[in-house]
Amino acid sequence: MINQRMYELGNEPSAIRELFAYGLSRKAEIGAENVFDFSLGNPSVAAPDAVKKAALELLEKPSQEVHGYTPAQGAPGVRAAIAASLNRRFDTSYTADNLYMTVGAAASISIAINAIVTPGDEFIVIAPYFPEYRVWIENAGGICVEAPARMGSFQLDIEALEDALTERTKAVIVNSPNNPTGAVYPECDLVELANTLRRKQDEYGHPIYLISDEPYREIVYGDTKVAFIPTLFENTLVCYSYSKSLSLPGERIGYVLVPPAAADAAKVYAAVCGAGRALGYVCAPTLFQHVIEKCVDEPCDVASYQENRDALYAGLTKLGYECVAPQGAFYLWMRALEPDAKAFTERAKGHELLVVPSDSFGVQGWVRIGYCVERSVIDGALPAFAALMHEYQAPTL
The string of DSSP letters for 172-186 reads EEE-SS-TTT-----
Residue among 122, 109, 178 nearest 150 (CA): 178
Residue among 39 and 169 whose Cβ is closer to ligand PLP: 39
Backbone region of residue 45 per phi and psi (left: phi > 0; alpha: psi in -120 to 50; beta: other values): beta
Instruction: Name which of 179 and 308 has its Cβ closer to ligand PLP.
Output: 179
- Interface with ligand PLP (CB under 6 A), residue total 13
Instruction: Tell me if 254 contacts ligand PLP by CB under 6 A.
Output: yes
Residue type, 3: N
Q: Is 41 in the site for ligand PLP (CB under 6 A)?
A: yes
Q: Which is nearer to ligand PLP, 120 or 250 (CB)?
A: 250
CA-nearest of 238, 149, 185, 192 to 200 is: 192
What minimum distance in Å lies between the beta carbon of 255 and ligand PLP?
10
Of 102-110, 143-151, 271-279, 388-396, which segment contacts ligand PLP by CB under 6 A?
Answer: 102-110
Question: Does the protein bind ligand PLP through residue 328 (CB under 6 A)?
Answer: no
> Considering the rule CB under 6 A, would residue 276 count as an interface residue with ligand PLP?
no
d(CA 125, CA 134): 8
Cα–Cα distance list, 300 to 141, 215, 295, 303, 371 (Å): 36, 12, 11, 9, 16
Which CB sits closer to ligand PLP, 44 or 201?
44
Q: Which range of residues in 241-249, 257-265, 294-302, 340-348 is near ligand PLP by CB under 6 A?
A: 241-249
Q: What is the dihedral of CA 5, 9, 10, 14, to 10 degrees?
A: 170
d(CA 333, CA 363): 12
* The only residue of 73, 179, 196, 360 in contact with ligand PLP, by rule CB under 6 A: 179
What is the radius of gyration, based on Cα positions, of the chain? Answer: 21
**Chain residue whose CB lies nearest ligand PLP:** 104
If binding is defined by CB under 6 A, does position 326 make contact with ligand PLP?
no
Q: How far apart are CA 106 and CA 129, in angstroms?
A: 14
In terms of CB distance, is 229 or 337 closer to ligand PLP?
229
Beta bridge partners of 291: none
What is the contact mask toward ligand PLP in residues 200 to 219, using x (rule: CB under 6 A)?
Answer: -------------x-x----
247 binds ligand PLP (CB under 6 A): no
Least gap, CB of 193 to ligand PLP (angstroms)? 18
Q: Which span (3-11, 100-108, 222-230, 383-391) binds ligand PLP, by CB under 6 A?
A: 100-108
- The rounded distance, in Å, linking the Cα atoms of 54 and 294 is 7
The Cα–Cα gap between 159 and 182 comes to 21
> With binding defined as CB under 6 A, does residue 249 bind ligand PLP?
yes
106 binds ligand PLP (CB under 6 A): yes
In degrees and rounded to multiples of 5, residue 320 shows phi and psi of 105, 5
Dihedral pair phi/psi, residue 173, rounded to 5°: -100, 125
Q: Which residues bind ligand PLP (CB under 6 A)?
A: 41, 104-106, 130, 175, 179, 213, 215, 241, 243, 249, 254
